[in-house]
Amino acid sequence: MRLSKRDELCSGCKSCILVCSMENFLKADPTLAALRIKAHFPVPGKYEVVLCDQCGECEKACPTGAIYADGEAYRVKPEECIACMACIEACPKGAIWFNQALGAPVKCVLCGECVRYCPRQAIVDETGEVKWGGEQAC
Residues that bind another protein (CB under 8 A): 8, 11-15, 18-19, 21-23, 26-32, 38-39, 41-47, 100, 116-117, 119-120, 132-134, 136-138
User: For residues 29 and 53, which CB has a smaller minimum distance to another protein in the complex?
Assistant: 29
Distance of CA 133 to the CA centre of its chain: 18
User: For residues 62 and 95, which CB has a smaller minimum distance to another protein in the complex?
Assistant: 95
Contact status, residue 128 vs residue 30, Cβ threshold 8 Å: no
* Strand pairing class (97-99; 104-106): antiparallel
Distance between CA atoms of 68 and 31, rounded to whole angstroms?
22
Shortest Å distance, C-beta 125 to another protein: 17
Shortest Å distance, C-beta 85 to another protein: 18
Which residues share a beta bridge with 39?
Answer: 47
User: For residues 39 and 69, which CB has a smaller minimum distance to another protein in the complex?
Assistant: 39
Distance between CA atoms of 132 and 112, rounded to whole angstroms?
9
User: For residues 1 and 22, which CB has a smaller minimum distance to another protein in the complex?
Assistant: 22
Count of CB atoms situated within 10 Å of the CB of 134:
12
Shortest Å distance, C-beta 26 to another protein: 4
Shortest Å distance, C-beta 108 to another protein: 17
